[in-house]
Amino acid sequence: MSDPAASSEDWLVNLTSYLKTRKGLILAAEIIISFIIFICYAASWFGGYIAGSISEMIFALVIFVVFMMQWDKEFLAVNWLWTDFLRAFIGAWVYMITSLIVISRRHMDHAGVAGGVFGLIAGFLFAYDTYTICLQIKASRQKAAPPTVCSAGEIF
């Protein structure tokens, strides 16, 4: 049986080392800003926009834990790169659309406007995450390049 103290130390080591990476920082920022948006929308008189921030926060948290614990290398049935791409792409659109709707409303309170402004920032953060994931997909496709053809026409 494994030692619980050792597993908690492994978890902390994984957390601190993953937070030092660019992807770890981006995911942590997405979780934090989604939580801030959730608080702003919850404090607003029109709290109907909290579902987007809660779902994006939970999805980012799940991806963060999967990558932090390196479960993406164990569970190969899921293409984690494309899953993360879809999460970030949908998150960017959800935040951009809901934030523009909230900001453009005529009778909105200050908490809702703050949530909308933070939502625009989150939309750009999620869009940047989508861009970095596209670069990773492109790099992974170049690694798996098709076989080259020599001058004699033979395939190696």
15-44 residue pLDDT tens: 888 899 999 999 999 999 999 999 999 998
Per-residue pLDDT band for 156 (boundaries 50, 70, 90) equals: very low
Query: Which domain does 115 fall in, by range?
Result: 4-143
- Residue 149, in any domain of the structure: no
Residue 155 has pLDDT above 60, yes or no: no
- Residue 156, in any domain of the structure: no
Q: How many domains does the chain have?
A: 1
Closest residue by Cα to residue 104 from 88, 92, 116, 115? 116
- Residue 97, in any domain of the structure: yes
- Residue 150, in any domain of the structure: no
108-139 residue pLDDT tens: 788 889 999 999 999 999 999 999 999 999 98
- Residue 102, in any domain of the structure: yes
Q: Are the CB atoms for 85 and 92 separated by under 8 Å?
A: no
The percent of residues in the chain predicted with pLDDT above 70, rounded, is 86
- Residue 154, in any domain of the structure: no
- Residue 84, in any domain of the structure: yes
- Residue 55, in any domain of the structure: yes
Q: DSSP secondary structure string, 80-144?
A: HHHHHHHHHHHHHHHHHHHHHHHHH-SS--HHHHHHHHHHHHHHHHHHHHHHHHHHHHHHHHHHT
